[in-house]
Amino acid sequence: MEIGILTQGYVRSDSTAQDRIRDVVAEARYADEMGLAAFGVSEQHFKFPVNSTAPITTVMAAIAQATEQIKIVPGVVILPFHHPLTVAENWAAIDIISNGRLYFGVGKGNTPFTSDVYKVPLKDTVGKSDEALEIIVRSWTQDKFSFDGKFFQFPELSVCPKPTSRPHPPLGSAGNSIPAAKYAGDRKLGFMTGTLVDSWEDVGIWLDAYDEAWKTGKPIAEAAPDNTKSILVPGWVGDNFEEVRDQAGYGTMAYVNRYVEYKRVVAERAGTPNPTYGEGFLDNFKVIYDTMPNAFGTPDLVIEKLLRMKKMGFDRVDVTLDYATHEDILKCIKRLATEVVPALN
């Protein structure tokens, strides 16, 4: 099982967004030097001073240039917010810069507010994502094509450049629900899941739903199937619970609280209100530490948790490292690479 790193470019009160973007590139370079498997940033819009990675394409291009071996794994490109032809051009270039190291992770959206700003109704995100994926794959695999869909229409054209990876970079779809798992399996995409207020049992149910959907799934036209299963978990390797809490607990809880509110809004807009969703996790880092999939703890405890994920069938675990200082994040990357990863194989 592979271990990667993901960051949302969290901006501490003693830093700036400008410094944080530079730090993220340096952290990716160091993760590469330490032999970790993957590095990614998440596409987070309009959350300053919390996150700095909204320009995911630019940041990941810099990371592709600054590294040599590590996989480039966006976590994730939010397809409904972009024109797919632009996405195809930009990420083909990133695959070229990285010499074929791109694993193209996509998603349908991360906050109702962002969807409102981009004027993308939540009910349209699946349809727009389907059309976008078809266009991106055809852009990467066909010399010329036209498209006439519900959301996108254009005459015959040719997209340049094509990616280095042939027939195209592997494709993964993100989500943490049964519908999201079925969406990925039905289209024979890799499944990129994650946890914030979810139990080990929840994750197992999603994996079962994905595997079942995969059996009868049909790839997107011209797309190569991918069966990679990865999970994104918050984490920090420390000497004791207090150190982990001090380095990552406050930021993790703030993010969990925002996420719970987002999920409640989504449920209400879908006509299935769930006002108590996530109640037991609000402002309770100890519950997260003890009860959900994560990479928090001493090296031995983190190894135990990651081995459990390996047994569940995950091919890669991406650990969210944020909230601490840049220097401490580099130390944690080293501990993951030298004290945890060797015990997983």
Q: What is the pLDDT of residue 110?
A: 64
Paired residues of 7 in beta bridges: 41
Confidence of residue 295 (pLDDT cuts 50, 70, 90): very high
**Is pLDDT of 280 > 90?**
no
Lowest-pLDDT choice from 8-22, 101-115, 301-315, 327-341: 101-115
Q: How far is it, in rounded angstroms, from Cα 318 to Cα 52?
A: 19
Task: Let me know: does 21 contact 336? Beta carbons within 8 Å.
Answer: no
Task: Let me know: does 204 contact 139? Beta carbons within 8 Å.
Answer: no
Q: What is the pLDDT of residue 263?
A: 82
Paired residues of 3 in beta bridges: 317
CATH class of 2-344: alpha beta
CA dihedral 73, 108, 150, 104 (to 10 degrees): 10
Two tokens, residue 340: 């945890």
Lowest-pLDDT choice from 42-56, 69-83, 132-146, 181-195: 42-56
> What's the whole-model pTM score?
0.94
Helix or strand run (H / E) with residue 173:
strand 171-174
Give percent of the chain above pLDDT 70: 100
Task: Let me know: does 261 contact 344? Beta carbons within 8 Å.
Answer: no
pLDDT one-digit tens code per residue, 90-130: 999 999 999 999 999 999 876 777 888 889 888 899 999 99
